Copies of this chain bind each other. A is one copy, B any other.
């Protein structure tokens, strides 16, 4: 490898991250990947945790770093892993998020309805492979799950993948939520492969349990934090309003690439048929949204400008949770508050939003964590030991909420 490609990244989480190969270096240099420098991992969570400004760029590097460590562990336990496989696995995890758009869940809810980021990641990986003479083909297979040795896919995407390992670690580091720390080092040292399945040595059970607990804590404390939900709801409403205005002919500021998505409903079919959408997609990032939010604060439309001003100055909606779905009659007071702020009833659905949050996305009932017992047998973690909390953790919890714009004078 040429000396100039033996780059090292400083990472406050792991100390240093080495670039393992020439190909990885070239991928990191590619504009598709550099774009991830401009997409935050946690969207608007910085409004709650001011340190949470880290990007998907950094996360992807971190996950690649952990992949290298995991593969070293497996090799040290006697599993043969070819150099090409090792590189492919690192490439696949490096690029696993490359299809994320700005504020991803927000955009998925508003503009990219029906087009999951995994699909876009795969398309962009294939595109990169085309640009690089097929050198990413094995990585694509591993990412898709079509590579024969399944455990590679599991390292990329499963309950114990390097994606989760890195993001939990990293999110906990940058938010400062110390309780979310997981024992990544120990978990990785406990990895093994049996019958082509990724497993954990039985003496790592407590670390896994801790990992599941930490993950659960991070969901409620960070990912589904009430203030983050409010900010995200507001952003969704702002974009929804901007689209309506745009589609009804009003002039709405947006960068050319973002404009394409603001003025069209781009389905998966369109992505497939017209490459311009994918190309434009690779041009947009958090800054496009922020530029809009700032410009829209001066838009003549009351709804749009009000919401944007309030996001920018952190005058966020308030939220109330419930274990049951709300009854519409519960909202009389809220409607009255909105009217008192001069908001006519026709606009109420921008300023009062119902929703639900659950940890369903994170608690998988399908995927299992497998434990390798001392006698060499493999069993599901839930059966591996007396771990009452494991079962408890697999409950899906759902919370209903209502967000609304409270008058500013009534802070709470």
Contact = CB atoms under 8 A, between A and B. Distances in A.
Interface of A: 2, 4, 6, 8-13, 15-16, 29, 31, 34, 37-38, 46-51, 53-55, 57-58, 61, 76, 173-179, 181-183, 185-186, 189, 206-207, 209-210, 213-214, 217, 220-221, 255-256, 283, 287-288, 290-291, 294-295, 298, 312-314, 323, 386, 388-389, 391-393, 395, 397, 411-412
25 contacts: A8-B189, A10-B48, A10-B175, A10-B177, A12-B174, A31-B313, A34-B312, A34-B314, A37-B50, A38-B290, A50-B58, A51-B174, A178-B181, A178-B185, A179-B181, A179-B210, A209-B213, A209-B217, A213-B389, A255-B295, A256-B298, A290-B290, A290-B291, A388-B395, A391-B392
Q: Most chain-B CB neighbours within 10 Å: which of A16, A37, A178, A256? A: A178
Dominant secondary structure of chain A at its interface with chain B? helix
A179 B389 CA distance: 16
Contacts of A397: 386
Nearest to A185: B15
Given A34-B312, A210-B217, A393-B388, A178 B15 contact: yes
A344 to B, nearest CB: 26
Contacts of A290: 38, 287, 290-291
A50 B46 contact: no
A12 B287 contact: no
Q: Most chain-B CB neighbours within 10 Å: which of A8, A31, A49, A183? A: A183
Nearest to A288: B294
Contact of A388 (B6, B58, B287, B392): B392
Contacts of A411: 2, 4
Contacts of A210: 179, 213-214, 217
A390 to B, nearest CB: 9
A33 to B, nearest CB: 10
Contacts of A183: 177-179
A50 B48 CA distance: 21
Q: Which 5 A-B pairs have the closest CB atoms?
A: A388-B392, A291-B291, A12-B176, A53-B53, A10-B176
Given A13-B176, A16-B185, 18 more contacts: A11-B50, A11-B176, A29-B314, A37-B314, A53-B54, A177-B183, A179-B182, A179-B207, A210-B214, A213-B389, A256-B298, A287-B287, A287-B291, A291-B294, A386-B397, A389-B389, A389-B392, A389-B393
